[in-house]
Amino acid sequence: MTNSDRNELRRRFVKDNSISRMALCYVNSSREKVVVQNEVFLNLPEEEIFKYLDIAKKSLSGNIGDNLLELAFTSSQEQGENYRLLTSLKESGLKNEDLLNLLFDRIIDSYVFEGNFLITVLADNYDVPVKTTDKLKLDESEEVFSYILVSICPVNQTKAGLGYLPAENRMGAREKDWVVGAPDVAFMFPCFSDRQTDTHHVCYYTKDSSEIHDEIIDSVIGCCTKKTATQCREVLKDAVEESFGTENREKIRDTILEIHDNLNCLLEERTAEGEDVSGKILDRDILTEAVKDVVKEEAYVKKIVETCEEAFDKEPPSAQSFVDKKALRSSEGERREKELVKEIVELKQKLDKAEVTSGDGKNDISEEDDLKENEAGRVKILIPTDRAETIKIENIDGMRFVMIPISEEEEPYIKEV
C-alpha cells in the first residue's frame, strides 16, 4: 500500500460517501459492553457522520512503514478462524449481528488497555475509477473494493469545571463527560494495494509506533507481524550500544545520526540516478554501506549489521521509513547553533586581541585606529591651490566619481573611485 493508495481512500471520507453501515461497541473499564449499535451510516445525524469520518481518516494516517503497516497472511493463516471471520464480516456488509459480536468479544478479550474504549466498524464499497497513464480519472469502474475498517479509540473523562449552560443562559458548574479520542489501533481488511483488492494483506494502524499491540494482530486479525520503523531504529541503537558500550552516550547518538544521514544521502543519490527507492528494502548491502562510512572497525560494522538483520525477523523495513528525518532535522538545528556559538567565540577572541574594551557603554578606539579607519577608502589628489575649487565629486548611477576639469573650456576628466 502506497501513500497514493492511502490518500485515495482518505479523500473519500466526506459527507457524500458510499459507506453502507456502521457498527460500534462501547466498553467500560470492567470489560462490559455498555452500548452496541448497528445501523445504516447515512441515517446518522450529520454532525455524528463527520465525527465518525474523522475517526476513519485518522485510522489511515501517519507514516507508512511506521504508523501504518502492511501485514501479510500466510496460506495457513488464510484457513484460520480469524481470517474467515473478517472475510464473512466484509461479505455480510455488517448485517450479521452474531459475527459482529464475535469480533467485539475477541477485541475485548485481547486488547491490552486500562479504561473505557470504543470499537467502530465501517463497511464500504468503493467503485475504483480507471486511471489513464497520465493519472487522469475516467468514469468507468473495473473493480469494486469492498472492505471493513475497524478502529479502537480510548474514551476519556473530562474534568469538571465552569462552563456555559445554554438552557439557563448563564455560567455554571459543568459536569464530567466521556469523550472519544483519536484511534489507538485500527485495521482495514482487505488491503488496498496498487488500487486493487489485496486479500493476502491487512492494513494495520498504530498511533504509537513503539507499541503496536501485537495482541490485536495475533488474536483478532491472525496474520504475521513485523516491526515498525521506530522499533527497527531502536534495534540499531541497541546494536551500536552493544558494540561501543553505553558509557559515551553522546558518541552513540552522533554515530546513529551519521548512519541515518548516510542512508538518507544514499537514497537521494539513487533517486537522482533515476532509481525508484520508494519500495527499497533496508537490505544487508545498503545498511552495510551506510554503517561502514561511520564505523571504521570492520568487526563492529559486521556485528551491527548482523544484529539488525537478526532482530528484523526477515521483515526489514523500507529504507525510507527507517531514516529518522525528524532527528536529522533536529540535529541540523543543533549543529548550526554550535557553529554560531563557535563564530561568536572566535569573534570575541579577535576583539579581545585587538584590545577593544568596553568603557562607558561605548567602544574605546585609539586615535591611531580612528585615523586608519577614517583614511580607509580615501583618495588623495595633489593639485595647485587655485584649482581646488574646480574639483567635484558626483554620484552617477549609484557610483562615486572625482571630476577634475583640465581647463574651464574642456570636458572634465572622470575617474571612478
pLDDT tens across 288-344, in order? 888 887 877 888 888 888 888 777 766 777 777 778 777 777 777 766 777 777 778
Instruction: Classify burial at 63, counting beta carbons within 10 Å of its beta carbon; exposed 0-12, middle 13-18, buried 19 or more.
Output: middle
pLDDT recorded at residue 414: 60
**In one letter, which amino acid is 327?**
A
The answer to whether the CB of 124 falls within 8 A of the CB of 90 is no
CB 103 within 8 A of CB 92: no
Q: Report pLDDT for 359.
A: 44
The pLDDT value given to residue 133: 63
Helix (H) or strand (E) holding 161: strand 161-165
Mark the ranges of the chain whose per-residue pLDDT is less than 50: 356-365, 367, 369-374, 376
The grid coordinates of residue 377 equal 577608502
pTM of the model: 0.70
> What's the rounded Cα separation, in Å, for the pair 196 and 190?
10
Please give the pLDDT value at position 373. 46
- Give residue 315's pLDDT: 72
Cell numbers representing residue 284 in the block: 544487508
Cell matching residue 227: 516491526
CB 2 within 8 A of CB 64: yes
353, containing H or E segment: helix 325-353
According to DSSP, the residues that pair with 405 across neighbouring strands are 412
Q: What is the pLDDT of residue 337?
A: 74
283 is written with which cell numbers? 537490505
DSSP string, 120-147: EEEEEEEEEEEE-TT--EEEEEEEEEEE
- At residue 246, the pLDDT reads 63
User: Rounded CA gap, 97 and 156, in Å?
Assistant: 27
Enumerate the domain spans of the chain: 3-160+171-225, 230-323, 379-416
Cα separation, 268 vs 88, in Å, equals 44
Q: Residue 347: CB partners within 8 Å, gap ≥ 6? A: none
CA distance 309 to 134: 39
Residue 363: its H or E element: strand 363-364
Q: How far apart are CA 45 and CA 285, in angstroms?
A: 55
